[in-house]
Amino acid sequence: MPGPAVLGEAIGIIGAGVAGLINAHVLLKDGFTDVTLISRDKSVGGTWARQRVYPGLYINNVHGEYRLSGLEMPLPENAARVGGRLSGTDMCEYMEKYSATFLEGKAKFKLQTEVLNISRDAEGKWSVLVENALSRLKEVLVFSRIILATGGCSNAKIPAELSPKTAEDAGYRGMVIHSSQFASRLDDILAAVKPHENGNTDDEQRVLVIGGGKSSQDVCTKLAIEGRKVTMVFDTTDVFLGTTSPLPDFLRKSRRFLHTTSVGSAINHFIWRKLGESSFDAFQVPKNSPLRRTHPMFWGIRLSDDGNYRPDCFHALVNAGAIDVISPARVEGYSKDGKSLVVSNGTIVSPKAVVLATGYQSSWSNIFTAEMAEELGINRHAPHTTVTATWDNYKSLKNPPVLKPENKEWTTSIYRGIVPAKNIERRDFAIAGALFTANPGYTNEVVAHWIASYFRGDKMHLPSSTEEAIAKAEEKAHWMKVRFPDMISWMNESYSTSFDFWSWPQAADELLNDMYLPGMRSGGNWLNWVFKVIDLKEIENLTQERENKQKELK
């Protein structure tokens, strides 16, 4: 068992969202006494911090998928009507309650604090340069260990030709914001753009929303409900799950389907294809609608769980004409008339406000120097090893989308999606929350226990050398390019943020095995295991299980 010296060493957690909170809680339960969470936001919650959410905002997941084992999650208001889908406010309140219940008075918080730089000195201590958002005072915080729980992509990505500075230079007189600012600037937009009812026929009284992803859809939905004219421009939009009744748990909360046989491949693709088609039909999307211009469900990871069809959901509002859609197209830039923007199909749009739902980029590239990123092994780089695995036996992976040539030239080496392989033997740095999963509560909680064991110096199934860790990590990165070729093209350009893809909790089983704990906790056999429903009760006693196992291994 770790001694007082280890448990008393300072741990800094960058981020106070789901991953940051569960990691802090597990560390405290493990006996660590000096845990600090740092966040740029005014309150905990990360993506769902109170200042980021607004009435009518719904998240990508339904009830239970973000719950953590220590705290029950209340059913959302009108659960049956929305198919169990959670609102941003639901998640905000759950995160705040989780923090108040388990962390208040135990962990330290540095809120409204921007991380400017993270570096490691010759003695192995981490120095974190931060700036208070209110006072603008800077200070250096020192930690023995760091957990990067920022989610990977949290900084606004704004094309240069559409930026506020470009708009200003072109003389555009309207408001230009990124979608990350939408909640805080909503009142300003509503004041600048008049409702289109009561005989208002001014076509310039509208908001232009650029982008086709989830953020864009949320923004358009809110503005349409508020009675504003909205125009949405995109090339492709995100695929979604939508039903007339909730999907069964064996689809939402089970493990992934098999890929290796021709029969399994046919079943796999049939299911994904039917899920997509049934979602369009359930949400009454016409066959010729641009809303069907989505990323392929099977080959991608951007999937919104939209629950049940509702008259006030995004697709219904488009069908009703409350949201104008221009697609396939992209906005090329601002006109010189000071009021309009030019669309690639020749359309001219003259909005009072522009919302850039153009995505997010690395939250890490600005806080690590290139030298520190290289030393740590968090950067993308040319492969160190030759990956011989081809997955040719995966029949379901035949005829994939084309991988962009430039994405064949680089890779990342993050072991298990948690630890830079180059740094694995130091046990002083981990990544949490930079993953994609259909069951984020379950997966993030298992990851938190893995990190706690790693930091404690517990006996674990880990690679025997840095070289082995790099080889295993690069093989997984190669698998990511094979399995999700489209993903690589839209991830940030500086550092990879999706080091592993856990669409089902099968990889969580691998992490449990790393801690000498049993996986496959949902039961079943080789035939029905993939359909068994996972349950948080399976992992609610992991702290005690880990402690007992370490005593047994001594």
Cα 399–Cα 393–Cα 498 angle in degrees, nearest 5: 70
The DSSP secondary-structure symbol of 55 reads T
| Average model confidence (pLDDT) across the chain | 87
89-93: long-range contacts at Cβ-Cβ below 8 A with a sequence spacing of 24 or more? 89/53, 89/55, 89/57, 90/59, 91/45, 91/47, 91/48, 91/53, 91/59, 91/66, 92/45, 92/48, 92/49, 92/50, 92/53
Residues in the chain: 554
Residue at token pair 């488009």 = 318
DSSP-derived secondary structure letter, 259: -
User: 200-209, 415-424, 495-504 — which one is most confidently predicted on average?
Assistant: 415-424
CA angle 306, 487, 326 (to 5 degrees): 60
> Of the segments 116-120, 279-283, 473-477, which one has the largest average pLDDT value?
116-120
Cα 330 from Cα 312, distance rounded (Å): 26
> What is the mean predicted confidence (pLDDT) over 232-259?
69
Give the SS3 label for residue 3: coil
492 pLDDT band (50/70/90 cuts)?
A: very low
Q: For the segment 87-106, what is each residue's pLDDT rounded down to a tens digit? A: 899 999 999 999 999 999 99
Task: Tell how far CA 117 is from the center of its chain.
Answer: 22
Local structure of 214: helix, strand or coil = helix
Q: CA 249 to CA 513: how far, in whole Å?
A: 25
Alpha helix ranges (H) inside 114-213? 164-169, 182-192
Of 140, 150, 95, 144, the residue nearest 117 (C-alpha) = 140
Tokens of 366: 């600005």
Edge-to-edge strands, sheet with 229-233:
175-178, 353-356, 206-210, 229-233, 324-326
pLDDT in tens, 238-251: 888 787 665 555 55
Residue in 146, 144, 151 with CA at minimum distance from that of residue 117 = 146
Q: Does 526 or 137 have the greater pLDDT score?
A: 137
Confidence of residue 303 (pLDDT cuts 50, 70, 90): confident
Q: pLDDT at position 503, please?
A: 40
pLDDT of residue 97: 98
Query: CA 366, CA 351: separation in Å to the nearest integer?
Result: 33
Name the more confident of 243 and 42: 42
Q: Which pair of structure tokens corresponds to residue 386? A: 């030759």
The answer, yes or no, to whether residue 528 has pLDDT greater than 80, is no
Distance separating alpha carbons of residues 214 and 60, to the nearest angstrom: 8
> Of 278, 255, 300, 269, whose CA–CA distance to 488 is shortest?
300
Determine contact, residues 76/62, Cβ cutoff 8 Å: no
Q: Cβ distance 208 to 349 under 8 Å? A: yes
pLDDT at position 493:
35
Whether residue 352 contacts residue 206, with contact meaning beta carbons closer than 8 Å, is answered with yes
Q: Which pLDDT score, from 0 to 100, does residue 325 have?
A: 97
Most confident of 59-73, 302-316, 457-471: 457-471
Return the exposure string of 33-51: e unless at least 16 CB atoms fall within 10 Å of the residue's CB, then b. Answer: eebbbbbbbebbbbbbbbe
Do you find a cis peptide bond into 328, omega within 30 degrees of 0? yes
Does 252 score more than 60 pLDDT?
no
C-alpha triplet 436, 440, 441: angle, nearest 5°: 165
Q: Would you state the structure tokens that stand for residue 298, as one six-digit string?
A: 């099977």
- With H, G, I as helix, E, B as strand and everything else as coil, classify residue 59: strand
CA–CA dist 224, 228 (Å, integer): 5
Q: Tell how far CA 525 is from the center of its chain.
A: 32
Q: Are 49 and 96 spatial neighbours (Cβ–Cβ below 8 Å)?
A: no
Q: Is 38 left (phi over 0), alpha (psi -120 to 50) or beta?
A: beta
Closest CA to 505 of 436, 452, 439, 431: 439
Which range, of 49-63, 159-173, 326-340, 342-356, averages the lowest pLDDT?
A: 49-63
Query: DSSP label at 401?
Result: P
